Structure 1
């Protein structure tokens, strides 16, 4: 924290520090934490979080820190057999979901005798 010497001379700096301390104590209460959690799970909170992350990643410093964090995570887990098994399981699940999404809905099959519309949701 930078010291504002004018405030220090007037004796206001102590009051400012006390106000900050009270604010930190208030933010640590269970009610306030619950309020933050509710906001984070709301649509407005999710939009705000997305925008904040987008702005952070747009800066050079943010990109460098994000890349470094990603690299540290990879170096930590790359040799872990448990993590590899989990990653394979997740990839398999996504592959099946993508296939299901591709087949979802109504499709038109062109055959030699004409055309057939097939609803894949009902066919499965």
Structure 2
């Protein structure tokens, strides 16, 4: 399975990648900006997206809107700024930073089970 991690902090992206690997994901794209996220998702459609709400530069929220306009993909927001995500994307799972690996794994299980 392939995942797209939209995150502008390398350590956090690597932590998320580790959790997703333990779930069974085998390939990843890590996008540091809104523009890069949209570009890489167009090249290789992910089975799951994790996204930070605010990026430098851009917005994970806006990237997810563009990517998911091409077809539904499970998304989990992992952000230190949850207010905007809750307001604009209320139907998506939200994990607030700092987070535990268990919280991410639980959200992944839930998101992936909704596909079945």
TM-score past 0.5 threshold: no
* Structure of greater Rg: 1
Give TM-score, length-normalised by structure 2. 0.19
Per the normalisation by structure 1, the TM-score is: 0.18
Q: Which has the higher contact order (CA 8 A, sep 6+)?
A: 2
